[in-house]
Chains A and B, each alone.
Chain A
Amino acid sequence: MKHTFFGGVHPSGGKELSLAADIRPVEPRRVAIPLLQHIGAACRCVVSVGDSVSLGDVIGVPTGLGAAIHASVSGTVRTIEERPHVGGTLVESVVIENDFCGHTRLLPPLADRSGETVMQRIAEAGIVGMGGAAFPTAVKVQGAVGKADTLIANGCECEPYLTADDVLLTTAPRQVLRGLELLRRAIGPKRAVLAVEDNKKTAIEGLRPCMADFPDIELCILPTRYPQGSEKQLIRAVTGREAAAGELPVSVGCAVFNVSTCAAICAAVEEGRPLTQRIVTVSGEAVARPGNYRVPLGTSFRDLLEAAGGLQVTAHRVVSGGPMMGLSQTDLSVAVVKATNAVTCLTQQQSGTGDRCIRCGRCVAACPMYLQPLYLYRFDDRPRELRRLHLTDCIECGCCSYICPARLPLTERFRAAKRRMKEAGA
Chain B
Amino acid sequence: MKLTHGSSPHIRTTQTAAHLMGPVLLALLPALAVGVWQLGFTALWVTLCCTAAAVAAQWLCSGGRSGADGSAAVTGLLLAMTLPPTLPLWLAAAGGAFAVVAGKQLWGGLGRNVFNPALTARAAMLLCFPRAMTDYHTADAVTSATPLHQMALHDLPHEGVLELFLGLCHGSVGEISTLALLLGGVYLVWRRVISWRIPVSYLATVAVLTLVLFRSDDPLRWMLSQLCSGGLVLGAVYMATDYTTSPVTPRGRLLYGVGCGALTVLFRYTGIFPEGVTYAILLMNGLTWAIDRATPPRRFGVKKGASG
Closest CB of chain B to A205's CB: distance in Å? 29
Decide if A409 is an interface residue (CB 8 Å cutoff).
yes
**Chain A residues whose CB sits within 8 angstroms of the CB of B17 once the complex forms:** 355, 358, 360, 405-406
Binds B, one of A17-25, A146-154, A242-250, A264-272: A242-250
Distance in Å from the Cβ of B25 to the closest Cβ of chain A? 16
CB nearest neighbor in A for B20? A405
- Which one of A160, A349, A356, A372 lies within 8 Å of B110 (CB-CB)? A356
User: Beta-carbon contacts of A214-258 to B below 8 Å, as 1s and 0s?
Assistant: 000000000000000000100000000011110100000000000
Q: Which A residues are CB-close (under 8 A) to B16? A: 405-407
B65: chain A residues at CB < 8 Å are: none
User: Contact at A358–B9, with CB atoms within 8 Å?
Assistant: no
Given the complex, which residues of A lie within 8 Å of B248, measured CB to CB? 359-361, 364, 372, 374
- Nearest-Cβ distance from residue B274 to partner chain A, whole angstroms: 31
**In whole angstroms, what is the CA distance A198 to B207 when docked?**
42
Question: What 1/0 flags go to A4-48 for Cβ under 8 Å of B?
Answer: 000001010000000000000000000000000000000000000
Q: Contacts A361-B243, A405-B17 given; indicate if A324 touches B8 (C-beta within 8 A).
A: yes
Q: Does B272 contact A (CB under 8 A)?
A: no
How many angstroms between the C-alpha atoms of A198 and B49 in the bound complex?
Answer: 52
Check B10 against A359 for contact (C-beta < 8 Å): no
Which of B116-124, B175-183, B210-218, B297-305 faces chain A? B297-305
Q: Are B301 and A243 in contact (CB under 8 A)?
A: yes
A312-332 interface (Cβ within 8 A of B): 313-319, 323-330, 332
Residues of B within 8 A of A406 (CB): 16-17, 111
In the complex the two chains form, is A356's CB within 8 Å of B109's CB? yes
Interface majority SS (helix, strand, loop, mixed), chain A:
loop
A359 to B249, CA, bound (A): 11
Return chain B residues, CB-CB under 8 Å to A327.
Answer: 8
Closest A residue to B244 using CB positions = A359
> In the assembled complex, which residues on chain B have CB atoms less than 8 Å from the CB atom of A405?
13, 15-17, 19-20
Interface residue? B127 (CB, 8 A): no
Q: For B5, what are the chain A residues with a Cβ–Cβ distance below 8 Å?
A: 328, 330
Contact of A298 with B by CB under 8 A: no
A329 in contact with B15 (CB, 8 Å): no
Residues of A within 8 A of B9 (CB): 323-325, 398, 401-402, 411
Q: Is the CB of A245 within 8 A of B300?
A: yes
Cα distance A315–B1 when bound, in Å?
6
Is the C-beta of B12 less than 8 angstroms from some C-beta in chain A? Answer: yes
Q: Does B3 lie within 8 Å of A247, measured CB to CB?
A: no
How far, in whole Å, are A324 and B6 apart by their CA atoms in the complex? 12
13 chain-A/chain-B pairs, Cβ below 8 angstroms? A11-B13, A242-B300, A244-B299, A316-B3, A330-B3, A358-B110, A358-B111, A365-B195, A372-B248, A401-B9, A404-B13, A405-B17, A411-B8
